Amino acid sequence: MPSPARPREADSTDSVRSALRSPRILRTEVLAGLVVAIALIPEAIAFSIIAGVDPRVGLFASFTMAVTIAFTGGRPAMISAATGAVALVVAPVAREHGLDYLLATVVLGGIMQLVLALLGVAKLMRFIPRSVMVGFVNSLAILIFLAQVPHMVDVPWLVYPMIGAGLAIMVALPRLTRTVPAPLVALIVLTAVTVAFALTVPDVGDEGKLPDSLPFLLIPDVPPTLATLQIIAPYALGLALVGLMESLMTAKLVDDITDTHSDKSREARGQGIANVVTGFFGGMGGCAMIGQTMINVKASGARTRISTFLAGVFLLVLVVGMGDLVAIIPMAALVAVMIVVAVSTFDWHSIHPSTLRRMPKSETFVMVSTVAVVVVTHNLAIGVIVGVIVAMVMFARRVAHFSEVVVVDQPDPGVRVYKVVGELFFASSNDLVYQFDYAGDPDRVVIDMSESHIWDASTVAALDAIETKYAAKGTSVDIRGLNDSSLDRHRRLAGHLGAGH
C-alpha cells in the first residue's frame, strides 16, 4: 500500500539558487521585497509608538529581524519585523525603565527563545487549541486599536477627518487596484495634503528623531545585577513566548498556502538569534508578521529567502535616504493604518451569531477567557497561558463523564461482577470509588477492566481505595482484564500511593 503523500520540504538553498539563475523568479522576489519594505515603514513606526520608543527603534528592529531571519529562519519567504504583539509586551519596560532596559529585554528574550527551541517548544504548539489561537488574534486586534486611542484624544479637530480619509482610502483602493499597498497611498495622500495646506497636526517627527545613519553594534547600558534580571526577565519571557507563538502559527499558515513543509525548530532558533542580534543593534525586537507575510507570499508570489532579505535592505535604504520625508507623515495617517490593521486582524467570523450558535459553549468560553485576560493584563503571553489552562479544564470536565461502571449479570449469587468502561484518569476516576455497593455486595467481587485504560496514578489510587473499602467489609476483590500498559502501571503503583482514601 503506498504511503500517504507529504508536503515537500521548503528547501531554502535550492530555491535561492534557482531564483538567482532565473530572471523571472528573481524579479518576483526583488519586487516582492520592495513592496513589503514600503508597507513595513508605516507599521514599524506605528509599532514603535505603541512601544513608547523613537521610530528608529522599530525601523532598526524591522531591518535586523528581516535580514537575520532570512539566513537563520526555517520558513522561507516569511517576513519577520517589529510587530504589535512584541510592542505591547515590551511597552511597560520601555515606559518605566527606559530604552537600555528594553534592549536588554530583547536580548534576553532572544536567548530564552533559543533555549525553548532546544527544548523542542515547536512540538508543543500542537497543544494550543484553536479557540486559544482565535482569542490570541482577537485580543491582539483589540489591544492594537486601544493603543490608538491616546492619539485621538485632545488633538486638533483636523485629525478626525484625516483619519476618516485615511480609512476611506484603505477600504476603497484595494477594490480598484492592489498594485500599490493601500496604506502607502493613504500615507502619501495625507502627507501631501498636510504639507500643501500647511496643516498643524501631530506628525511622526513629534514622536522622536528618525535615523539618519545605519544601525551600529551597542551593549545595553544596564547594571549586570540580579535586580536588573528581576526587572527584565518577566517581559523577556513574554516576548519569547509571544514571538514564538505568532511566528510558528504564521509558519504553519505559509506551509498551507505554499504546500511545503518548513522546519519549525529551526524557525524557533532563528527567531531567537534574530532577537539577540536586534537587541544589540538598538531594535525593539520582533517576530513573524502575518500581514506582511501574506503580502510577500500570497499577493506578490515570493517563495524564497531573497524576498525576506531584500525587504530588510530596502527598508533601511528608504528610511535613511528619505528620513526627512518620513518625519512629516501625520500621526492621523498612522492611526488610520493601525485601525485597519486591527480590524483586519480580528476574526469577525468567530463572533458571528451563527458561529456562536454552532460552536460548543466551552470553546467560546475559552476564546472569551483568553481575550478578557489579555485585554485586562495587556500581556498576550498571560492570556494564552490562561486560555490553555481553561481549555484543559474544560476538556477534562467534558471527558470526565466518558467512563462508567456497570453491573454484569452473574449466575453465581456469591460473586458480583462490575465492568468499568472508558478512559480512566484523574478527572474520570475521581468518582470511581463511589460506584460500588460495599455494604450489599457478596464476599467476592470481580472488577472487569477489559474495556478501560488506566492513564495515571490517580486511577490506581482510586482502585486501591476500592480494595481497601471492600477489605474492611471482608470482601475479596479481583481486578482483571487490564491491558499491558494499564497492568504495568497498576503493578508498579498499587499499594505504594499512601493512605487518605
DSSP string of 184-226, one letter each residue: HHHHHHHHHHHHHTT----BGGGG-PPP-S-----------SH
Angstrom distance (rounded) from CA 39 to CA 174: 14
Q: Which residue has the cell 507563538?
A: 245
* Low-confidence winner among 321-330, 370-379, 388-397 (lowest mean pLDDT): 321-330
Task: For residues 52-70, give the mean pLDDT.
Answer: 93
Could you tell me which of 499, 423, 429, 419 has the C-alpha nearest to residue 457? 429
Residue 14: its pLDDT value, please? 61
Q: Which residue has the cell 482577537?
A: 138
Instruction: Identify which has the larger pLDDT, 221 or 338.
Output: 221
Instruction: Identify which has the larger pLDDT, 498 or 409.
Output: 409
Give yes or no for residue 76 having a pLDDT over 90: yes
Residue 432: its pLDDT value, please? 87
Residue 501: its pLDDT value, please? 43
Instruction: Identify which has the larger pLDDT, 135 or 281.
Output: 281
CB atoms within 10 A of CB 17: 12
pLDDT more than 90, % of the chain: 44
Task: For residues 151-169, give the mean pLDDT.
Answer: 92
- For residues 327 and 319, the answer to whether their CB atoms sit within 8 Å is no
State pLDDT tens for residues 447-501.
999 999 999 999 999 999 999 999 999 999 999 999 999 999 999 998 877 654 4
Residue 382: its pLDDT value, please? 79
State pLDDT tens for residues 205-228.
777 667 778 888 999 999 999 999
Could you tell me which of 296, 264, 289, 267 has the C-alpha nearest to residue 86? 289
Residue 8: its pLDDT value, please? 58
Task: For residues 401-413, give the mean pLDDT.
Answer: 83
Could you tell me which of 337, 474, 412, 411 has the C-alpha nearest to residue 40? 337
State pLDDT tens for residues 131-156.
888 888 788 788 878 888 888 988 99
Phi, psi of 420, deg, nearest 5: -100, 125
Residue 498: its pLDDT value, please? 65
The mean of the pLDDT values for the chain is 87
Task: For residues 71-78, give the mean pLDDT.
Answer: 94
Q: For residue 2, which amino acid is it?
A: P
- pLDDT band of residue 280 (cuts 50, 70, 90) is very high
